[in-house]
A = this chain, B = another copy of it.
């Protein structure tokens, strides 16, 4: 019963081991970032508490102390203001329709291409298995942009730039949907892609002055 194990204590650290020891928020943030990185790489089903822990430079124990399931951890990471998507979505409305559309969709494209934005892709197909996660993405990422876009359309319609019949939820969803699909399809959405979507699809679709051709 004597515990004469070869257990290595925290003192004799192997070469390369971290010297500082984070706690509280600093550690939580590191775990959030590790979670989103893992999510982007291995997908939701591939998440392992162990992997996340060592990626964050800590042990499983610290994780289990805070969250009990991967879904819980992912939800927390997604909604965190600094690691996740808590406090974004600041796109100016200049009043120039095309400019505003490009800015809004470009913002969405960039968000999706950011390191933690890539974490969203695996979740988009998880609606049936994890409705609460999917709902979170809708609420935090897609909904605000569609609402904003609808406001743009309405304002432009009031100025006479957009035909009134084009101010609908479905039409407001076309741009974001095209960007998201392009993101899943090609893996990256460039500024040129965004402009092409606006010029080839959105403007002809909504413009009050009929397209030539």
Contacts and interface: CB of A to CB of B under 8 A. Distances in A.
A87 B178 CA distance: 28
Top 10 A-B pairs ranked by shortest CB distance?
A: A165-B213, A210-B210, A45-B45, A177-B181, A125-B125, A163-B213, A205-B205, A121-B125, A122-B125, A170-B200
Interface string A110-131: 0000000000011111111100
A167 to B, nearest CB: 9
Given A165-B213, A174-B201, A177-B178, A124 B127 contact: no
Contact of A125 (B178, B184, B212): B184
A76 interface: no
B124 A125 contact: yes
Interface of A: 42-46, 121-129, 138, 163-166, 168, 170-171, 174, 177-178, 180-181, 184-185, 187, 196-197, 200-201, 204-205, 210-213
A212 B170 contact: no
A32 B181 CA distance: 28
Contacts of A174: 174, 178, 201
